[in-house]
């Protein structure tokens, strides 16, 4: 009897430990019970596709797809949730992501919002927390403060050498990375509707 009782207690303790670990394993900063998850579930969502920035890049990356989805949660959380999903890009590279005044060159005002890093298959996903729906730049123009909405999206190769496979070794170096040296813009939202302005 004593042996059966010990076995029953041991089984019950193992079951409790498994249940506790399972509960911890399913909770995350975006779990279904978090304020972020509740706000995202009830928020409006904006979706857009980013296209290659040039015909040459489209030829070099024929299967590439970049989609963004923005949960407009600023009113509930103080920030929006900007999701990037990229498939079949050049592999093992970093890409910088910007909110822009204009999707294509000369771009106008720009805000660096984050990076994505592709795996060996050219796939990447990332989530940024920032204000998107009301994103703007405030700049002085002829002594007057001017507001410019940032409702377009662009992505650059983070390293100037990362676009050489397509554009060659003398491709332009651009300032679209934190170290002021990036490759060319590879994707943008010129064919998508602008992100919502306030």
Residue 30 lies in a domain: no
Q: What is the pLDDT of residue 197?
A: 74
**What tens digit of pLDDT does each residue of 135-163 get?**
999 989 999 999 999 999 999 999 999 99
Q: Is residue 51 part of a domain?
A: yes
In the chain, how many domains are there? 1
Q: Is the pLDDT of residue 3 over 80?
A: no
Determine, yes or no, domain membership for 96.
Answer: yes
Domain with residue 184: its CATH number is: 2.60.40
**Residue 166 CB contacts under 8 Å (≥ 6 apart), including other chains:** 56, 57, 59, 60, 61, 90
What are the pLDDT digits (tens) for 59-111?
A: 999 999 999 999 999 999 999 999 999 999 999 999 999 999 999 999 999 99
The pair phi, psi for residue 125, each rounded to 5°, is: -140, 140
- Indicate whether 12 belongs to any domain: no
- C-alpha to C-alpha distance for 114 and 98, rounded to whole angstroms: 7
Q: Domain for residue 194, yes or no? A: no
- Whether 2 is covered by a domain: the verdict is no
Adjacency order of strands within the sheet including 65-72 = 110-117, 94-100, 152-157, 185-188, 44-52, 65-72, 80-87, 124-130
- Percentage of residues in the chain having pLDDT higher than 90: 74
The answer to whether residue 75 is domain-embedded is yes
Domain with 172, as residue range(s), is 44-188
Q: What is the pLDDT of residue 36?
A: 62
Phi/psi of residue 165, nearest 5 degrees? -60, -25
Above 50 in pLDDT, residue 12? no
- Please tell me whether residue 125 adopts helix, strand or coil conformation: strand
Is 88 among the domain residues?
Answer: yes
């Amino acid at each position: 009897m004593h042996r059966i009782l010990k076995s029953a207690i041991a089984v019950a303790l193992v079951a409790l430990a498994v249940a506790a670990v399972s509960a911890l394993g399913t909770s995350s900063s975006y779990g279904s019970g978090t304020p972020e998850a509740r706000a995202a579930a009830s928020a409006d969502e904006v979706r857009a596709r980013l296209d290659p920035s040039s015909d040459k890049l489209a030829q070099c990356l024929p299967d590439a797809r970049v989609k963004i989805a923005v949960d407009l949660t600023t009113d509930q959380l103080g920030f929006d949730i900007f999701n990037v999903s990229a498939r079949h890009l050049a592999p093992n590279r970093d890409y910088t992501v910007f909110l822009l005044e204009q999707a294509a060159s000369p771009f106008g005002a720009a805000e660096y919002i984050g990076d994505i890093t592709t795996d060996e298959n050219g796939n990447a996903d990332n989530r940024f927390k920032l204000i998107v729906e009301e994103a703007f730049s405030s700049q002085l123009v002829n002594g007057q403060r001017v507001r410019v909405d940032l409702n377009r999206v662009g992505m650059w190769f983070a390293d100037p050498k990362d676009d050489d496979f397509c554009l060659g070794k003398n491709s332009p170096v651009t300032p679209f990375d934190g170290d002021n040296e990036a490759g060319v813009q590879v994707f943008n939202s010129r064919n998508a509707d602008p992100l919502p302005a306030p």
